[in-house]
Structure 1
């Protein structure tokens, strides 16, 4: 048996693409706006955001979290724009801890949004694989273990 990505999985992966213009729907644009700042934080901590992302990029990432129904994560992300981590030794640690604790809801929030508003996302390109719409649906999982190729 082989692993088959769901439509939601393909959309999520597309958002992380470095290809400009991949995914033009409102949902795709939010995911793409979130990808760089989120990825930097997850790999290097909150301090990496101010070193690698503009305040506008961070604000757009926060807007993406709001769009996905994660207001706490959006609020925390907005705080990163003006946080003076050098003035408080423990602030960066606290922000990292809070961000990592809140981001655990991101995958489920995206999958819910995709299931509720698939029209917000560009269609998944036909590739001959029968895909389930999203992995959070009953009977789902992170993809299916079998596929029918047309």
Structure 2
């Protein structure tokens, strides 16, 4: 199960997988979030990664603060290996504390505050749609940001990452 926010702003629980994708596609707004635990954002990021995988094509951009997180977070490397196996243009961003070897993705390295304190997962399919999560770390384990399915906002976030990271 995952938590989502419906159009009236109420928190709802939806099943994961294809059914949650249909629920999400029916909602086109954006919701702001403030969380006191980074792991509370994980389901939104995983949902966007799943959306990319199920679509099978498009572009996915993900920030990891540190590139070593691709290796040291359980299952993350496997997810990105599978995503790269499709016709998805996968970009990963992070502080270069390790070098993700034998992973068919475009790696972006940087040391700015944005690299160290941003949590973004953006999927843009070839047609209209997609999803974006954008959060900034306010203090340890406290994040402020938003997630959206609005196509214009998804395009703007994708463009910002392309130009600025």
TM-score normalised per structure 2: 0.27
TM-score normalised per structure 1: 0.29
User: Does 1 or 2 have the higher relative contact order (CA < 8 Å, sep 6+)?
Assistant: 1
Larger Rg: 1
